[in-house]
A and B are shown apart, each in its own frame.
Chain A
Amino acid sequence: MKKVIVGIAVLAILGIVLASSPGTQADVKNATTTVTVNEYVAIGMSNNLSVGIDFGSVDPDTDDNNATHNYDGASAGTSYWINISSDSNVNIDVCVGDNESLKLGSYVIGNGNYTWVNSTTSATDAWMIVGNSTAMTTTASYTRGGEDISPGNYNYFRFWLDIPKGQAAGDYINQVSFKGIKTGDAC
């Protein structure tokens, strides 16, 4: 009888020891994984683009008037460009739009007369001619220019303006915005 009691006691102690040892319990520890993804991009304009797109003094009933810096870069290239800094880590698209048509009081030169073309290749890209240009749209419906431009690269532009017959004389002004977005995002 005494042996049985001792045996039970030994088994009970063994059971307690085993139960309290870490290896016998279903002991699940969770670790949280965290990571922060940083993105950065800097977008700039050439000095000649930053001071505005100027068509100078032009006559009514003339087409395809060049903006003043369309061909004054090196090798008759354009000196209008958007610059994606090499201190960036995302590729971007450039969207182009104006706030409204060129205006002088109630007189308007419609956006259909204001055209532009772009290239991501070079300032002298032969493709950048008026025949390949597209009409300006407002910022309510930006038009996509250069696409998938990687850091350290440029998006070059040329601009043309038609002045309709009978257009009232004066200074017509508006504002053109160049909006950078992550490649593939909506303008």
Chain B
Amino acid sequence: MKRYAVIALIVLFLVPLAQADIGIGIKWNTEWRALNENSRQCITYGLYNPFDTDVLGYLRATKELQPLAEAEDSKPVSAGTSSDNSIPTEMCFNIPKVYKEDCLLLGMLCEKKCEEPKKTYDGEVMASYESVSTGGGVGSSTGTSFAVPLKIEVTCEPYDRDFTPAYVLTVVIIGVLLIYLLRKKVKK
């Protein structure tokens, strides 16, 4: 009787472990990143799968990061992959131009003072895998994912107005004028 009780306890304990679970793992080393405006930059995450079933894993961005993120293709993540052997997967962002530039003439002779408050985008990078649909009847298909927080701060690099093109243009105009006048005088 005692023996059966012990066996029953062991079975009870092992049941959750014995059934095939399905899921996805994510490894990350940043939750904050300063990125340059007007640029495309990527952050590398690791996907892994310590569970029993092969999955197609993918990353996607949420909240304020969603419009900046590029769509990523899903990739196979084999069952039994440990976090030490996670598969590097890039999440790429297109950072827009956010800080004001003060230009004197048609987008030229510009300066940037970076006096505005720093722009940040708050969101999550979610690791998911392709979901499985339920059969007929009343019910819900299910999916699971893990959300890693990410804050992107857009860096602003100030610069002064560069008059060099204006000086060069002035010199060229004066040169052309001089040549024109000299040629006119020689002809006379």
Where chain B touches its partner, the secondary structure class is strand
Q: Does A26 contact B (CB under 8 A)?
A: no
Which chain B residues lie closer than 8 Å to A85 at the CB level?
23, 25, 50-51
A176: interface (CB < 8 Å): yes
- Is the CB–CB distance between B21 and A83 below 8 Å? yes
Nearest CB in chain B to that of A94: its residue:
B144
**Interface size of A as a range:** 35 or more
Q: CB distance A53 to B140 under 8 Å?
A: yes
Are B149 and A177 in contact (CB-based, < 8 A)?
Answer: no
A179 pairs with B138, CB closer than 8 A: no
* B155 part of interface (Cβ distance < 8 Å): no
Interchain CA distance A56-B138 in the complex, whole Å: 6
A44 in complex: contacting residue of B21, B29, B126, B138, CB < 8 Å: B21
B140 and A98 contacting across the interface, CB-CB below 8 Å: yes
Q: Tell me the interface secondary structure of chain A in the complex.
A: strand
- By the criterion CB–CB under 8 Å, are A54 and B48 in contact? no
Contact with B along A166-185 (1 / 0, CB 8 A): 00000111111111111001
Assuming the A-B contacts A75-B12, A180-B145, are A41 and B50 also in contact, with contact meaning beta carbons closer than 8 angstroms in the complex? Answer: no
Q: Is the CB of A180 within 8 A of B147?
A: yes
Residue interface mask A60-83, B partner, CB < 8 A = 1: 000000010000011100010111
Chain B interface size, as a band, is 35 or more
Residue pair B22, A38 in contact (C-beta under 8 Å): no
Q: Which residues of A contact B25 (CB under 8 A)?
A: 40-43, 85, 87-88
B117 in contact (CB, < 8 A): no
With most chain B CB atoms within 10 A of its CB, the pick from A56, A102, A161, A176 is: A176
Q: List, in ascending order, chain B residues with CB within 8 A of A172's CB.
A: 138-139
Q: Is the CB of B23 within 8 A of A43?
A: yes
Task: Give chain A residues whose Cβ lies under 8 Å from the Cβ of B20.
Answer: 47
Closest CB-CB distance, A112 to chain B, in whole Å? 15
Does B142 sit at the interface, judged by CB under 8 A? yes
CA distance A106 to B135 in the complex (A): 20
Distance in Å: Cβ of B172 to nearest Cβ of chain A: 47
A→B interface (CB under 8 Å): 36-58, 67, 73-75, 79, 81-83, 85-88, 92, 98, 102, 109, 123, 154, 161, 163, 171-182, 185
